[in-house]
Amino acid sequence: MNWNILLFQVFPYVALALLVIVSFQRMRGKPFSVSSLSSQLLERRLLFFGSVPFHWGVLIILLGHLLALLVPQGLLLWNAVPIRLYLLEISGLALALWTLGGLLVLLYRRLSNRRVLAVTRPTDVIVLLLLLVSILTGILTAVMYRYGSYWFPSVFTPYLWSILTLRPRPELVADLPFWIQLHVFNFWVLLAVFPFTRLIHIITVPLGYLWRPWQLVIWVRKPRRLQPVPPVAQPYPTTSAKPQAALQDKGGAYGSD
């Protein structure tokens, strides 16, 4: 058994087995742990500037890969016109750079903010680093080995279908450059660690939200105690009409006669 068979034939099935078994066990045994465990209450500004480009970028890129897996012939027909091929390649590279920027912001936020770092688990950092490797190798592949959308349906689509149909063909990726092989292997690593991290919240589709009644969120806060108002300082008594009147009434005692 050589490294090619171990990394691209044996390990993919280990990753898929962990993905299915551990995810099922976690959802049945610890359903409340299947959550994104959002840290939005701890810090919002960097989360917004990192989460929006990262999530939207990853979503569109994954949809593009899924399209190449399901309808490879349609993708090849689209790329038959050079201008459409260039448009697809430039769009994919721009999305990858946009996603990379968002991921770097999230990684910086996770490691620099004290409150966020206090609730950070080792798996959180591992997932971000694996995603960083995946995006960087994807960008290097797009820059160094052009027109990936053209050769992906011819190479990776048959390889992935051979794994899913239990007829593995690791020889399809044996002669690929190192960065492309790293990109493929990192994908299987992500699937293997997926059920052990907060990424598992991706597969929890909240269908109940479509028909449940509106939820009203009310903040419960302790009433603030009213501080006693200090009494207003009284001015020093001055000679007024009343004291003078009193003195006049007692003229016999204080008279000048």
Which residues are known binding-site members for heme b?
Answer: 55, 65, 183, 201
Rounded to the nearest 10 degrees, what angle do helices 82-112 and 45-70 cross at? 140
Q: Which residue has the tokens 């742990």?
A: 33
Contact between 12 and 188 under an 8 Å Cβ cutoff? The reply is: yes
Q: Which residues are annotated as a binding site?
A: 55, 65, 183, 201
Radius of gyration of the chain (CA): 34
Please state, in angstroms and rounded to a whole number, the distance separating the CA atoms of residues 122 and 59: 24
DSSP label of 230? P
Choose among 8, 108, 121: nearest CA to 51.
Answer: 108
Which element (helix H / strand E) includes 251? helix 251-254
Q: Which residue has the tokens 């109940």?
A: 208
